[in-house]
Amino acid sequence: MDPNSWLPGEPHKEKFEEVCEQYRERIYLFCYRMLKDKQDAEDATAETFAAFWKRMSDIEGEAHIEPFLRIVARNNCINLWRRRGKWKMNELMEEDHRSAAVTPADIMEEREEYRMKRQQLETALAQLPERSREVFQLRYFEKKRFKDIAAILDIKDKTVYVHWRNAKAQLKKILNNGKK
């Protein structure tokens, strides 16, 4: 693209076509990696370029095009994922209502299985050293970042990572009855 041809404030069809040509494949691959579905990735890519067309005159120079496209593509993927997820969940719920395949006994069995797995995890966690257990609980259950855990426990980031790695390895060994 000719750097002198970028004129913020004026959407140009030729410029739009150049941008589409240059970035379409990159944005599609980005969306595909997030969504893992060709049709959804195509939809997110199309929505991304539609948004670019609407906002093209607001973008200040070529250096800002790709970051804009990636941010919009990411947001489109998240929105599509949420919509598709809700749609799939609704579809599953409708199927569930249509079929009488799930019985109260099945539900009770699933609950019991969940309770047993939860109990196994709690027993395994109790066998970890205290600091490793704290790190694991903050990271796994509370979804804290390593640097946030370091601040909470007043230890270094690398130390948090070592405790995390060790806790996962120990739990895996304990839950697999000592097998690697």
pLDDT band at 160 (very low <50, low <70, confident <90, very high): very high
- 29 and 109 share one domain: no
In this prediction, residue 58 carries a pLDDT of: 83
The residue ranking higher by pLDDT, 98 or 53, is 53
Is the pLDDT assigned to residue 1 strictly greater than 50? Answer: no
CA atoms of 112 and 114, how far apart (whole Å): 5
- pTM of full prediction above 0.85: no
pLDDT for position 32: 83
CA distance 160 to 136: 9
- Closest by CA to 60, choosing from 9, 120, 134, 115, is 9
109 and 92 within one domain: no
Angle, helix 13-35 to helix 38-55, in steps of 10 degrees: 140
Domain boundary among 63, 96, 129: 96
Rounded CA separation 149/17 (Å):
47
Of the ranges 35-49, 90-104, 130-144, 156-170, which one carries the lowest mean pLDDT score? 90-104
Boundary (domain end) residue, out of 67, 96, 125: 96
Residue among 138, 141, 142, 131 nearest 166 (CA): 131
Tokens of 115: 């309770």
Q: Which domain holds residue 36?
A: 3-96
Has residue 95 got a pLDDT over 50? no
- Over the stretch 55-92, which tens digit does the pLDDT of each residue have? 888 887 787 888 889 889 988 988 887 777 655 545 44
